[in-house]
Amino acid sequence: MTAHDLDVTQANFDSEVMQASMQQPVLIDFWAGWCAPCRQLKPILEKLAGEYNGAFRLARIDSDQEMALAGMFGIRSLPTVVLIKDGQPVDGFMGALPESGVREFLDRHGIKPALGAPDADEAEAAPAQALESPGAALARLQAAVAAQPDQDELRLDLAVAQMRVGQAEAAAATLDSLPANLASDARARRLRGELDFAQALASAPALDELERRIAADPKDYAARDLRAVRRLLGGAEAAALEDWLALLAEARSWNEGQAKKRLVAAFALSDDAELVAQARRRMSSLLF
């Protein structure tokens, strides 16, 4: 144990997790001694807790010994990791993600390594993959999956890579083939959200046609919704959220609350925590 990771029990849960999360994010690792994937994930989490040097705290809970805490979080499979911020669970994943997957999960929530000298292993390892083109990453992962078809984490990586090069149908098929512990983790849920947005555009008009429709009829809510989807998937995230917020303000109940549903789904895909926080506050003010 270090200053950045500790064992948690019912006795210190409130102080070391809930109260501590008001100052820094807390990552809870629910594990058990008999769980082989837990043993695979443990050194990854401990390594990152040290490397991130206070950017988050790792709290390890033995589910067999602390059944009340496991029950409070509805833990049904191990390992399960839950992220707590400001006294509230905000996200999580199940299964032993590879180190790259855990890093992506942390990054998505704005949790980054502490400033200072980089970890030596990270400095050596960085890169080739960071410089990979989407096509090269896809080819590498296809070869890796062919060589190791039983490695489910590689298939999840492949699904993400397929989506990055526009192969939405292939990504959906790969995602559907994953076992339950991976199909429900954070990366898989994020990819499923991207696929849902991509599906909405399957037969949608081009952006210029949508713009013409909106100019002709500002109450063409379907066109405004599809324009926002195109903007989101095209990288104009702020503009997309503005579109849906305006639609929510004007036509809150349109299409069974479509604007609210789109906003919630878009929040889950965003890496911009500040933008999402601002949009959430505006959505709440419109709804309540």
pLDDT digits (tens, 9 = 90+) for 167-203: 888 989 999 998 887 777 777 888 888 899 988 888 8
- The more confidently predicted of residues 288 and 31 is 31
SS3 220: coil
Q: Does residue 38 carry a catalytic annotation?
A: yes
Residue 79: cis peptide before it, omega within 30 degrees of 0:
yes
Going by CATH, does the domain composed of 207-287 fall within 1.10.10?
no
CA distance 128 to 130: 5
Q: Which residue has the higher pLDDT, 129 or 249?
A: 249
From the candidates 17, 20, 28, 35, which is the catalytic residue? 35
CATH code that applies to domain 5-124: 3.40.30.10
Q: Could you tell me the pLDDT band of residue 126, with boundaries at 50, 70 and 90?
A: very low
Distance CA 225, CA 40 (A): 43
CA-derived radius of gyration, the chain: 21
Catalytic annotation on 280?
no
Question: What mean pLDDT is predicted for residues 18-29?
Answer: 92
Which of 28, 38, 102, 175 is labelled catalytic? 38
Strand, helix or coil for residue 61:
strand
What pLDDT is recorded for position 151? Answer: 87
Instruction: Show me where the domains of the chain are located.
Output: 5-124, 129-185, 207-287
